[in-house]
Amino acid sequence: MLGRLRSRAEDLYERVLAAELSETPTHVAVIQDGNRRYASKEGADKREGYRAGADTTEALLNWCDEFGIEEVTLYTFSTENFDRSEEERELLFDLIEEKLLEFADADRVHESEVRIRAIGELDRLPERVRDAVAYAHERTGDYEKLHLNIALAYGGRAELLEATRQIARDVAAGERDPADVDVDAVEDALYEGPRHDVDLILRSGGDERTSNFLPWQANGNEAAVCFSAPYWPEFRKIDFLRAIRTYENREEIRRQSRARRAKALVGALGGTARAGNDSPVERAASTARGGDTDERSGEHTDVDPAD
């Protein structure tokens, strides 16, 4: 009886949260933490924890499709995960291969037009995993509705380091002038995959760190970050909606901050009365208050995203 009442209350709260949403992020990056700890809590082996986490990941993709989110990046296997035992690495590689092949052929993936791509040092992965990555990309490469990036053998510092090396090679070969190295040049040298800056980083499992995940794409500290207590297999739609609310609150604070700065600028230049309603200053203030544009603009190496 108590369980049914709790379930009804959660359903009601979920509907309230969904109804209150006014905007959703374009790109959500997810650190799926707590699979092993969940298995230990439940008295199950690690494999069962990982499989339960994979079920949550499938549910997450459905939620993202429901709320019109355009891009999701999943921290699935970090460069630090290579330090785990061979037995556990092989377990993870088996599951990753299985899920990539399953996703690539799933009707719901094709109906939702999900494009699957992997990012990271893919040459460090076993051949069977690389083959599964290639198959998923081939099967879904023409879709554009929801972009799903699977971070495999990924580390944010490693990505930035390789981008720096590539730019240095271009400069040494005379193909690029150092003065021309700008934001676009760095982004061109990063792993091919993410199309948008990250709006929201979500981490389950209780740890409050972003663990070397997409530091460039998170645009410094501009991405909203939500740390959720439940282990990944226990993560619910309610938790996801709370994370989106964190993003909304962050965006509102940014808008208010821009409006305050614009107001201060107007005051410093003589006030709105002297600036005039059609002046560049007044137009900037109006924009900062949210009138004309939707402006959008990340480290810790002991990451355990598959934990």
Q: What is the CATH number of the domain that holds 135?
A: 3.40.1180.10
pLDDT at 296: 39
pLDDT at 249: 86
Instruction: State the Cα–Cα distance between residues 113 and 71, nearest whole angstrom.
Output: 12
Domain membership of residue 6 (yes or no) is no
Structural domains in the chain (count): 1
pLDDT at 269: 78
242-206-120 Cα angle (round to 5): 90
Catalytic residue status for 81: yes
User: Six-digit token pair at 180?
Assistant: 């021309």
Radius of gyration of the chain (CA): 22
Q: Where are the beta strands (DSSP E) in the chain?
A: 27-31, 71-78, 114-119, 146-154, 200-203, 224-227
Domain membership of residue 304 (yes or no) is no
Supply φ then ψ for residue 101, to 5 degrees.
-65, -40
Domain membership of residue 92 (yes or no) is yes
Domain membership of residue 245 (yes or no) is yes
Q: How many CB atoms lie within 10 A of CB 171?
A: 14
Q: Which residues of the chain fall below pLDDT 50?
A: 292-303
pLDDT at 285: 53
pLDDT at 289: 53
Alpha helices by DSSP H, listed for 112-236, are: 127-140, 156-172, 183-189
Burial class (CB in 10 A: 0-12, 13-18, 19+), 94: middle
Catalytic residue status for 33: yes
Annotated catalytic residue within 45, 55, 65, 81: 81
Annotated catalytic residue within 33, 65, 170, 307: 33
pLDDT at 303: 44
Domain membership of residue 12 (yes or no) is no
Residue with tokens 């079920």: 55
Alpha carbon 180 to its chain centroid, in Å, reads 29
Domain membership of residue 118 (yes or no) is yes
pTM of the model: 0.79
pLDDT at 292: 46
Domain membership of residue 275 (yes or no) is no
The SS3 assignment for 37 reads helix
Domain membership of residue 103 (yes or no) is yes
- The domain containing residue 201 runs over which residues? 23-251
Q: If you ran DSSP here, which 8-state letter would residue 206 be given? A: S
Q: Are 242 and 228 in contact (CB under 8 A)?
A: yes
72-304-130 Cα angle (round to 5): 60
